[in-house]
């Protein structure tokens, strides 16, 4: 049954379930509670009442002890609360008090027997260690007594209840007439309200030890008599206590605090006889070096005209806090500065953490308190924005008042944990104007975003220099040993600390091997803590607290607390909470190196089990740990789940790797469903040939026509014609879909299919498989057999209309528009724009987003086909934008089709940066995917042109030759028709007119094979290029035979007419430009300037910048000037050949 506590903060009620009351006193109550997040029993301390004063005290209490990390001091976990109530959780110590543990069944007054003496010795050593750890953190406990020193079942001594702890120095924070503590155990100075120091706690230790020896405290009676006895200075009788305990206790109970150190020395000597008393506490190393950083801090302080925030960034253990402590200490001594220090502790669930301490210290309680922190809705309404701004302003006013009285430093540590509210308050407090005596210091592991106007300095802490590292290491022993430590640590402050610690304990191996030191340290950990650290080390990735709480140990929370105290792990913020990881990579590496293979496998299995128990979504991480844990079959099943999960999240590369690992670990999982899933992922990634192999593997021994069609599609769309064509032909034959041989019959069949489409004469209903086969045939054959592709596309369009499927109808209209765009120079081609608009309309009705993207591809094709550059660019870029979010087996290929249209119109619009970027992308993509389709379909032209623009003609030539080689060996692709002009470009860029004309002649059979000039965009461009090269040759450029010049003159003359009949939107202007080029190369330049300016204006009006530039460059050429601004003159040489000589090229004949 859950208990109720009226002062229990509302936020804590969701986290902790109170089970029973463990203790109650004047400062609060301690409950046994269940931590629901960790599923662990903890102790929770609450205040006795709700008030701002109580909340401030609870926060201060938690923060004073939260900095103490020692096995013999209670481990504090988390602080939760608001401005009226706070509580904190801590380790639940199931034990008895110190005196009962030591005395056992002995009656009061009986001296200790032999077993009691042994228990006293072991417990005393631990008590001394715990007290020294508290003092090392500059804290006084002030309430040490048997009930606050517990011993658990393993004999571990734990100091608890920091209720009235205070900071050192300056523990005198109570009024002289106020007594806080337990009278029987108080030192005289504490009882009188005088200044206190470490001796105050040692006095209490002496009282506890005396009581343990004889059963009663040395001073008894009424509080007043006890107080008088302590102030008399007369030592107690200590009857029944023998030496050497008597001497130690007498010294500890001395009235003079300075004399009590002798008793501590005796206790250490007693313990040394039977136990290893080398301290487990990591002693503070001396602060050395960082002179540059200290100087920069001082200069930032002195600069009154700059921002007043210093940001110090460095890795965990780099010495950020030590640097600030050293600097503020010197500032206190020199100027009497007041330092307000707050830490953004991830264990605290309070508003404005890190800066709420500033509020607590400026106005700790009472009616003047600013109430920055929001009260719970059950107490007060949620404050308005205006109220928050007033609270900010009031706190700033109080801070500025303090800074006007004396210098003030506000230090926020671990700001990587600062929430947005903390940062907002910091920015408000630090906004100008500020007095010169106020500085904010922010320390963090990573950069913190702050406005530039408030930041005076950004410091980044790295490794110490060699000389500074040696100075630190000198505390560990001889100069030789210090040199070893400095060298082994490479100046890393954290590793330096580890090595010095090992040296102090006599455990530093020869050569200062860091791994050996860390491995030895790990063996000192409790077994459960070591196991948890080993899990964190083998995980290879940060682990969240929900995962760690499922570690196979008795108390994961306690183990994690030990690791944090030992600075072996750190917690980092993440969007989903906190992540735990090793403090330094060397710690994990040393841990892994020390694990034997069987233990390592066990830890991997433990991590996998914890991940699964926490329902962690990272199935691939679970699978990896199962595999490394020696469970291949379980790992394979987990990889298969990971692959499917990654596919649903569109993480296709991860899905592909997961499928491969699953099938490798357990081939029996590679059934048809799994293989098809893998194939679809590979297809979506554009790894088409691998997708085809996966589809065929999925088919297995039992034939499956749909899988063979998919395999054929992927082979053909990756330019693997020899593998894909037979597969496709077999399926087409099996489904009785007729094929056609190139020729008149095929052209008539295509025409008849379009007549049927126009008239609505549709076939009977068709199956989805037949429809898919026709789509594959139409789409994948287009680069290699465009007319046959058109035939299958027409059949697909007919059957798609008959099927009345929205997606099929949209794709049919898009495909028909693309096919008709190829024939814009014919009667059928005039229907292309209409079908493109139909495609857009139908695609908007389709549930598949890829259909609308494909419709924009069709629109781009229609505009490109007649050289409408602006409209083609708009449609093509819209298609690519939509394909960014489209997932389908053909999406990557369809996007490349869009790029085909774009590269040509980018040239027309002179968007060379876009053209070159796209060429680079396609070239990289082809190499990464081992897929040359885009290059073979014509994009190699863009890559070749890009290489020429960058002055790499040899790479341009290699790109063209590679396409021609693939075309000859694997089936003639449509891209080969552009090879002639690419080879001519390379030749003309070197001034080789003979080479350019030879390239034109070699290309004639390829052009005849594909009949691509029927497309106006291709025809007009090709005829212009051929005509200008022919005109240059006919005019004597290249010193070629007379027969060749005569042949060229015929082409130059006839191609002017072909351009005029091409159907391009600028056909008349381009044919005129071609004719004027012929006049210029023949030397007939009279009057050409005015005509060329008229053409340039016409091209500009229709937004065909490329041809406008060509006209103006030709006008300059007529005057003997090479237009070097037109792509560094390259385009003059290859588009206006023979007009002027390229720099560096040797003219082979005179003009």
Q: Read off the pLDDT band of 504 (50, 70, 90).
A: low
Q: Read off the pLDDT band of 542 (50, 70, 90).
A: confident
Give the model's pLDDT for residue 377: 37
Indicate the average pLDDT of the chain.
83
Dist. CA 356–CA 99, nearest whole Å: 39
Contact of 824 with 1063, CB cutoff 8 Å: yes
Average the pLDDT over 174-178 and give the result. 39
Average the pLDDT over 1012-1027 and give the result. 87
Residue 847 in tokens: 């549930």
Residue 410 in tokens: 């506000």
> Model confidence over 689-715: pLDDT tens digits?
888 989 998 887 778 888 998 998 888
Give the model's pLDDT for residue 1148: 35
Contact of 773 with 731, CB cutoff 8 Å: yes
Q: Read off the pLDDT band of 1147 (50, 70, 90).
A: very low
Give the model's pLDDT for residue 365: 45
Give the model's pLDDT for residue 635: 92
143 is catalytic: yes
Residue 1150 in tokens: 């005179």
Average the pLDDT over 455-477 and give the result. 81
**167 strand-pairing partners:** 139
Over 60: is that where the pLDDT of 213 sits? Answer: yes
> Model confidence over 87-131: pLDDT tens digits?
898 889 888 999 999 988 888 888 888 888 888 988 998 999 899
Average the pLDDT over 156-181 and give the result. 63
**166 strand-pairing partners:** 140
Residues whose CB falls within 8 Å of the CB of residue 975, separated by 6 or more in sequence, listed in order: 783, 935, 936, 937, 938, 939, 940, 941, 963, 967
Q: Read off the pLDDT band of 410 (50, 70, 90).
A: very high
Over 90: is that where the pLDDT of 345 sits? Answer: no
Give the model's pLDDT for residue 651: 72
Dist. CA 249–CA 270, nearest whole Å: 12
Contact of 187 with 229, CB cutoff 8 Å: no
**3-state secondary structure string, 39-67?**
CEEEEEEECCCCCHHHHHHHHHHHHHHHC
Place of tokens 């030590």: 322
Dist. CA 441–CA 341, nearest whole Å: 9
The single residue of 5, 82, 83, 143 carrying the catalytic annotation is: 143
Give the model's pLDDT for residue 176: 35
Residues whose CB falls within 8 Å of the CB of residue 26, separated by 6 or more in sequence, listed in order: 48
**Backbone dihedral angles phi then psi of residue 1064, each to the nearest 5 degrees:** -70, 150
Dist. CA 918–CA 895, nearest whole Å: 12
Q: Which residue has the higher pLDDT, 1019 or 1147?
A: 1019
Over 90: is that where the pLDDT of 464 sits? Answer: no
Which of 824, 840, 841 is closest to 832 using CA atoms? 824
Which of 701, 702, 703, 723 is closest to 714 using CA atoms? 723
Average the pLDDT over 308-336 and give the result. 85
Over 90: is that where the pLDDT of 954 sits? Answer: yes
Over 60: is that where the pLDDT of 5 sits? Answer: yes
Give the model's pLDDT for residue 803: 83
Strand order in the sheet with 157-159: 95-97, 149-152, 157-159
Give the model's pLDDT for residue 375: 38
Task: Please name each of the domains of the chain with its CATH number.
Answer: 10-90 (3.30.200.20), 97-272 (1.10.510.10), 291-375+382-462 (3.40.50.300), 463-512 (no CATH), 517-616 (1.10.10.10), 772-978 (1.25.40.10), 1011-1135 (no CATH)
Q: Which residue has the higher pLDDT, 579 or 985?
A: 985
pTM listed for this prediction:
0.58
Q: Read off the pLDDT band of 766 (50, 70, 90).
A: confident
Give the model's pLDDT for residue 1094: 95
Contact of 728 with 706, CB cutoff 8 Å: no
Over 60: is that where the pLDDT of 1144 sits? Answer: no
Beta strand pairing status for 86-90 and 40-46? Answer: antiparallel
> Model confidence over 359-389: pLDDT tens digits?
777 765 443 444 554 433 334 444 556 777 7
Give the model's pLDDT for residue 1104: 86
Contact of 240 with 111, CB cutoff 8 Å: yes
Report percent pLDDT > 90 for the chain. Answer: 26
Give the model's pLDDT for residue 840: 95
Over 80: is that where the pLDDT of 822 sits? Answer: no
Over 60: is that where the pLDDT of 133 sits? Answer: yes
Give the model's pLDDT for residue 909: 85
CA separation (Å) from 1024 to 699, 763, 960? 51, 43, 21
Dist. CA 592–CA 97, nearest whole Å: 40
Residue 921's Cβ-count burial label (10 Å; 0-12, 13-18, 19+) is middle
Dist. CA 563–CA 902, nearest whole Å: 59
Torsion of Cα atoms, 722 then 728 then 733 then 739, to 10° = -80
Long-range contacts of 617-624 (CB under 8 A, 24+ apart): 617/645, 618/642, 619/645, 619/658, 620/646, 620/654, 620/657, 620/658, 621/541, 623/658, 623/661, 623/662
For 444-470, letters b (16+ CB in 10 Å) and e give bbeebebeeebbbbbbebebbbeebbb
Give the model's pLDDT for residue 564: 82
Average the pLDDT over 197-217 and give the result. 91
Dist. CA 20–CA 1083, nearest whole Å: 109
Give the model's pLDDT for residue 334: 81
Average the pLDDT over 475-489 and give the result. 73
Contact of 628 with 661, CB cutoff 8 Å: no
3-state secondary structure of 165: coil
Q: How far is CA 768 from the centre of its chain?
A: 43
Residue 786's Cβ-count burial label (10 Å; 0-12, 13-18, 19+) is buried
Which of 352, 401, 404 is closest to 374 using CA atoms? 352
If you ran DSSP here, which 8-state letter would residue 1075 be given?
H
Give the model's pLDDT for residue 179: 58
> Model confidence over 1091-1123: pLDDT tens digits?
999 999 999 988 888 999 999 999 999 998 999
Residue 879's Cβ-count burial label (10 Å; 0-12, 13-18, 19+) is buried
> Model confidence over 612-670: pLDDT tens digits?
888 877 788 889 999 999 999 999 999 898 888 877 776 777 788 888 899 999 998 88
Give the model's pLDDT for residue 793: 85
Give the model's pLDDT for residue 535: 94
Q: Read off the pLDDT band of 587 (50, 70, 90).
A: confident
Report percent pLDDT > 70 for the chain. Answer: 90
Give the model's pLDDT for residue 369: 46
Which of 455, 474, 462, 430 is closest to 320 using CA atoms? 462
Of 324-338, 1072-1086, 1102-1116, give the lowest mean pLDDT range. 324-338
Average the pLDDT over 433-457 and give the result. 88
Place of tokens 């499956």: 704
> Model confidence over 856-883: pLDDT tens digits?
999 999 988 888 888 999 999 999 999 9
The enclosing H or E element of 466 equals helix 466-473
> Model confidence over 14-35: pLDDT tens digits?
889 999 998 887 778 899 999 8
Place of tokens 């070096």: 289
């Amino acid at each position: 049954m859950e208990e109720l506590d009226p002062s229990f903060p509302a936020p804590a009620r969701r986290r902790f379930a109170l089970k029973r009351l463990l203790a109650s006193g004047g400062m609060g109550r301690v409950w046994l509670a269940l931590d629901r997040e960790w599923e662990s029993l903890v102790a929770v301390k609450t205040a006795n009442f709700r008030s701002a004063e109580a909340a401030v005290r609870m926060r201060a209490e938690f923060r004073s002890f939260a900095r103490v990390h020692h096995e013999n001091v209670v481990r504090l976990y988390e602080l939760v609360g608001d401005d009226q109530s706070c509580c904190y959780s801590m380790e639940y110590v199931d034990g008895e008090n110190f005196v009962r543990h030591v005395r056992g069944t002995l009656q009061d007054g009986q001296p200790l027997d032999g077993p009691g003496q042994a228990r006293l010795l072991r417990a005393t050593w631990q008590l001394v260690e715990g007290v020294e750890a508290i003092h090392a953190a500059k804290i006084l406990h002030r309430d040490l007594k048997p009930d606050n020193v517990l011993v658990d079942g393993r004999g571990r001594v734990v100091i608890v209840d920091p209720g009235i702890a205070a900071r050192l120095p300056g523990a005198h924070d109570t009024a002289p007439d106020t007594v806080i503590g337990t009278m029987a155990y108080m030192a005289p100075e504490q009882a009188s309200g005088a200044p206190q120091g470490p001796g105050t706690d040692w006095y209490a230790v002496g009282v506890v030890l005396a009581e343990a020896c004889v059963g009663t405290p040395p001073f008894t009676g009424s509080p007043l008599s006890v107080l008088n006895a302590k102030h008399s200075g007369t030592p107690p009788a200590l009857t029944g206590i023998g030496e050497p305990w008597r001497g130690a206790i007498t010294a500890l109970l001395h009235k003079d605090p300075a004399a009590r150190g002798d008793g501590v020395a005796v206790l250490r000597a007693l313990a040394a006889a039977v136990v290893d008393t080398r301290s487990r506490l990591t002693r503070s190393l001396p602060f050395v070096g960082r002179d540059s950083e200290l100087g920069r801090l001082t200069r930032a302080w002195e600069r009154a005209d700059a921002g007043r925030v210093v940001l110090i960034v460095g890795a965990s253990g780099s010495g950020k806090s030590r640097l600030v402590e050293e600097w503020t200490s010197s500032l206190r001594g020199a100027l009497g500065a007041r330092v307000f220090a707050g830490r953004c502790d991830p264990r605290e669930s309070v508003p404005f953490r890190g800066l709420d301490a500033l509020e607590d210290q400026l106005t700790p309680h009472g009616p003047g308190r600013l109430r920055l922190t929001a009260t719970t809705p059950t107490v007060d309404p949620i404050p308005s924005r205006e109220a928050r701004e007033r609270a900010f302003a009031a706190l700033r006013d109080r801070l500025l008042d303090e800074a006007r009285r004396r210098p003030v430093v506000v230090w926020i540590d671990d700001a990587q944990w600062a929430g947005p509210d903390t940062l907002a308050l910091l920015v408000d407090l630090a906004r100008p104007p500020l007095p010169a005596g106020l500085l904010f210091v922010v320390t963090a592991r990573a950069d913190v975003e702050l406005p530039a106007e408030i930041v005076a300095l950004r410091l980044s802490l790295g490794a110490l220099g060699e000389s500074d590292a040696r100075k630190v290491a000198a505390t560990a022993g001889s100069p030789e040993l210090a040199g070893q430590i400095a060298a082994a640590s490479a100046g890393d402050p954290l590793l330096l600390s580890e090595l010095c610690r090992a040296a102090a304990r006599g455990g530093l191996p020869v050569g200062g091997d860091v791994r050996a030191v860390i491995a030895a340290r790990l063996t000192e950990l409790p077994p459960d803590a070591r196991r948890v650290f080993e899990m964190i080390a083998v995980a290879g990735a940060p682990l969240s607290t929900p995962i760690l709480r499922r570690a196979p140990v008795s108390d994961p929370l306690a183990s994690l607390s030990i690791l944090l105290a030992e600075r072996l792990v750190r917690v980092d913020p993440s969007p989903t909470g906190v992540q735990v990881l090793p403090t330094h990579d060397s710690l994990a590496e040393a841990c892994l190196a020390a694990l034997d293979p069987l233990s390592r496998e066990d830890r991997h299995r433990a991590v996998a089990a914890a991940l699964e128990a926490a329902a962690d979504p990272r199935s691939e991480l679970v699978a990896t740990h199962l595999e490394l844990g020696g469970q291949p079959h379980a790992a394979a099943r987990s990889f298969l789940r990971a692959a499917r999960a990654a596919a649903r999240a569109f993480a296709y590369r991860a899905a592909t790797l997961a499928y491969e690992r699953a099938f490798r670990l357990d081939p029996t999982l590679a059934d048809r469903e799994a293989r098809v899933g893998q194939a679809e992922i590979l297809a979506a990634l554009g790894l088409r040939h691998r997708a085809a192999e996966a589809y065929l593997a999925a088919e297995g021994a039992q034939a499956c026509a749909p899988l063979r069609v998919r395999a054929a599609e992927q082979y053909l769309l990756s330019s693997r014609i020899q593998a894909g064509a037979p597969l496709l032909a077999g399926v087409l034959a099996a489904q009785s879909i007729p094929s056609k041989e190139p020729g008149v019959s095929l052209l008539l069949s295509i025409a008849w299919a379009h007549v049927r489409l126009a008239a609505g004469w549709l076939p009977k209903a068709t199956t989805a498989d037949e429809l898919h086969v026709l789509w594959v045939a139409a789409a994948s054959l287009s680069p290699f057999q465009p007319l046959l592709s058109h035939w299958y596309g027409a059949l697909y369009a007919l059957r798609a209309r008959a099927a009345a499927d929205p997606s099929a109808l949209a794709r049919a209209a898009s495909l028909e528009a693309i096919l008709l765009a190829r024939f814009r120079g014919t009667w059928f081609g005039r229907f292309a724009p209409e079908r493109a608009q139909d495609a857009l309309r139908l695609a908007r009705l389709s549930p598949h987003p890829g259909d609308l993207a494909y419709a924009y591809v069709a629109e781009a094709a229609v505009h490109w086909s007649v050289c409408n550059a602006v409209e083609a660019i708009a449609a093509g870029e819209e298609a690519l934008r939509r394909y960014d979010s489209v997932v389908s087996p053909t999406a990557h290929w369809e996007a490349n089709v869009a790029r085909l249209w774009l590269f040509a119109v980018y040239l027309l619009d002179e968007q060379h940066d876009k053209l070159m970027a796209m060429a680079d992308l396609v070239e990289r993509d082809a190499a990464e995917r081992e897929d040359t389709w885009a290059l073979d379909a014509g994009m190699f032209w863009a890559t070749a042109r890009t290489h020429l623009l960058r002055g790499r003609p040899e790479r341009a030539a290699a790109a063209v030759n590679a396409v021609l080689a693939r075309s000859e060996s694997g089936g003639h692709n449509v891209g080969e028709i552009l090879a002639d002009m690419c080879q001519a470009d390379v030749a003309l860029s070197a001034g080789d007119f003979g080479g350019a004309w030879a390239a034109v002649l070699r290309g004639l059979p390829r052009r005849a094979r594909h009949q691509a000039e029927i497309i106006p965009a291709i025809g007009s461009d090709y005829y212009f290029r051929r005509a200008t090269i022919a005109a240059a040759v006919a005019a004597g450029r290249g010193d070629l035979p007379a027969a060749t010049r005569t042949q060229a003159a015929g082409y130059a003359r006839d191609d002017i007419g072909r351009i005029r009949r091409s159907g391009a939107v600028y056909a008349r202007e381009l044919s005129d430009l071609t004719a004027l080029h012929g006049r210029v190369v023949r030397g007939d330049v009279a009057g050409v300037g005015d005509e060329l300016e008229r053409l340039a204006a016409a091209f500009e009006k229709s937004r065909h910048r490329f041809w406008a530039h060509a006209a103006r460059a030709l006008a300059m050429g007529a005057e003997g000037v090479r237009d070097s601004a037109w792509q560094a003159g390259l385009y003059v040489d290859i588009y206006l050949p023979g007009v002027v000589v390229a720099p560096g090229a040797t003219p082979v004949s005179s003009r």
